[in-house]
């Protein structure tokens, strides 16, 4: 272990997603097989004991890269020196609820945590918001941390991307690795737009039945979270953790020119209002995301993207009142 350990914070550490995520991070799946990690588990006071149980199990796993574990309910202590933060801790929705319904219950969490990140996180901090509504919670955390560059606040839309990739590869009967240039625009909500316009399979344009694309694929990807809740009885957890690892790994290590999807604060790309945390096609370059620019949009694509801008502006207006 010659490298300095990476300081990683996971909030909601006693919850379902963290129970999968913590092991993946500690196994080197984000920072690579040579970089040790210090894990800080942040929980609310009532769940600290359960998080201590998770920490005991992490210790019992004798993971070679796991250097140190801290369990706390103090956000300022947790984020002091943080280099990667997974903001998972938040209430999941139940059957019949929308993710935007969770803004009232969860939004305020991200003010306090954004402030704590502003106070003490490392200069190279990267924050990935997972707790729902993820895009607007990332907007809130960013707003609460004026001294941290806005591009350090992302929201998880890699799960939507992975769902789209998997469904498309099954439809085409190919491995998901054969498909490139897929993206999911917008909000991690029912309005999201999984877009195959530019997608290729083995380097050739993807050709699918238009009715399958508009009437089955797009709504099924967009509503997959609710489908999982219906079938599993609980919201997605291992797939969300896996997508969180994919997102943070590609942010840190890059994508070698390949497209993926990340939700990040807009700087005005594609007519998205500055500051809204929006899912874009991106590549990972030198530890930062580059939005794929100058794509031509059809009227249909434009309308689907605009629906997401409207939804996120409405959520941001509610979020602004929480401050």
Residue 319 touches which member of ligand NAD, ligand LMR, none, C-beta under 5-8 Å by kind: none
Find the binder of ligand NAD among 109, 164, 196, 206 (CB under 6 A): 109
236 binds ligand LMR (CB under 6 A): yes
Angle (CA) 7-9-12 rounded to 5° is 165
51 is in an annotated binding site: no
Q: Are 305 and 193 in contact (CB under 8 A)?
A: yes
**Is residue 17 marked as binding?**
yes
Are 35 and 5 in contact, with CB atoms under 8 Å apart?
yes
Q: Which of 26, 36, 39, 43 binds ligand NAD (CB under 6 A)?
A: 43
In 12-88, the DSSP E strands lie at 37-42, 66-72, 84-87
Coil, helix or strand for 216?
helix
Nearer to ligand LMR, 71 or 134 (CB): 134
Among 10, 55, 90, 164, binds ligand NAD (CB under 6 A): 90
Write down the least CB distance from residue 220 to ligand LMR, Å.
12
> Binding of ligand LMR at residue 181 (CB under 6 A)?
no
140 is a site residue for ligand NAD (CB under 6 A): no
Smallest distance from ligand LMR to CB 279, Å: 13
Q: By C-beta, is 113 or 192 nearer to ligand LMR?
A: 192
Region 86-105 residues binding ligand LMR, contact defined as CB under 6 A: 92-93, 99
Q: Annotated binding residue at 130?
A: yes
Give the SS3 label for residue 286: coil
The window from 30-38, 228-236, 283-291, 297-305 that contacts ligand LMR (CB under 6 A) reads 228-236
- Alpha-carbon distance 300 to 231, whole Å? 32
The CB-based long-range contact list for 162-166 (8 Å cut-off, 24+ gap) reads 162/239, 162/242, 162/243, 162/246, 163/194, 163/221, 163/224, 163/239, 164/194, 164/196, 164/217, 164/221
What is the Cα 261 distance to its own chain's centre? 10
Do the annotations mark residue 88 as ligand-binding?
no
Q: How many angstroms separate the Cα of 60 from the Cα of each of 37, 57, 66, 225, 321?
A: 16, 5, 11, 32, 45
Q: For the CB of residue 113, give the shortest distance to ligand NAD in the complex, in Å.
A: 7
Contact 188, 160 (CB under 8 A): yes
Does 135 bind ligand LMR (CB under 6 A)? Our answer is no
CB 292 within 8 A of CB 278: no
Nearest distance, CB of residue 226 and ligand LMR, angstroms = 6
Q: Segment contacting ligand LMR (CB under 6 A): 7-15, 207-215, 223-231, 306-314?
A: 223-231
- Active centre residues (catalytic): 188
Q: Is the peptide bond before 133 cis (omega within 30 degrees of 0)?
A: yes
Binding residues for ligand NAD (CB under 6 A):
11-12, 14-17, 42-44, 47, 88-93, 109, 130-132, 134, 156, 159, 188, 235-237, 240
Residues forming the site for ligand LMR (CB under 6 A): 92-93, 99, 132, 159, 225-226, 228, 235-236
């Amino acid at each position: 272990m010659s490298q300095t350990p990476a300081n990683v914070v996971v909030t909601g550490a006693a919850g379902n997603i963290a129970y999968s995520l913590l092991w993946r991070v500690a196994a080197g799946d984000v920072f690579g097989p040579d970089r040790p990690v210090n894990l800080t588990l942040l929980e609310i006071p009532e769940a600290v004991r359960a998080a201590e149980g998770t920490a005991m199990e992490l210790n019992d796993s004798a993971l070679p890269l796991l250097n140190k574990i801290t369990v706390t309910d103090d956000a300022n202590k947790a984020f002091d020196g943080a280099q990667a933060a997974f903001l998972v801790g938040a209430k999941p929705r139940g059957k019949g609820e929308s993710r935007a319904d969770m803004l009232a219950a969860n939004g305020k969490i991200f003010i306090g945590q954004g402030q704590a990140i502003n106070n003490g996180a490392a200069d190279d901090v990267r924050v990935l918001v997972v707790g729902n509504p993820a895009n607007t919670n990332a907007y809130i955390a960013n707003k609460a941390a004026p001294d941290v560059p806005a591009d350090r606040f992302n929201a998880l839309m890699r799960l939507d991307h992975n769902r789209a990739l998997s469904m498309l590869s099954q439809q085409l009967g190919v491995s998901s690795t054969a498909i490139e240039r897929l993206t999911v625009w917008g909000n991690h909500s029912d309005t999201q737009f999984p877009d195959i316009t530019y997608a290729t399979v083995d380097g050739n344009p993807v050709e699918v039945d238009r009715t399958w694309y508009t009437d089955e694929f797009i709504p099924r990807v967009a509503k997959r979270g609710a489908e999982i809740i219906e079938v599993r009885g609980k919201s997605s957890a291992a797939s969300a953790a896996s997508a969180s690892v994919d997102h943070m790994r590609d942010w840190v290590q890059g994508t070698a020119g390949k497209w993926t999807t990340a939700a990040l604060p807009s700087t005005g790309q594609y007519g998205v209002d500055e500051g809204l945390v929006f899912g874009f096609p991106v590549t990972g370059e030198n530890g930062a995301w580059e939005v794929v620019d100058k794509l031509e949009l059809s009227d249909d694509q434009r309308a689907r993207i605009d629906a997401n801008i409207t939804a996120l502006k409405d959520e941001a207006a509610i979020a602004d009142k929480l401050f």
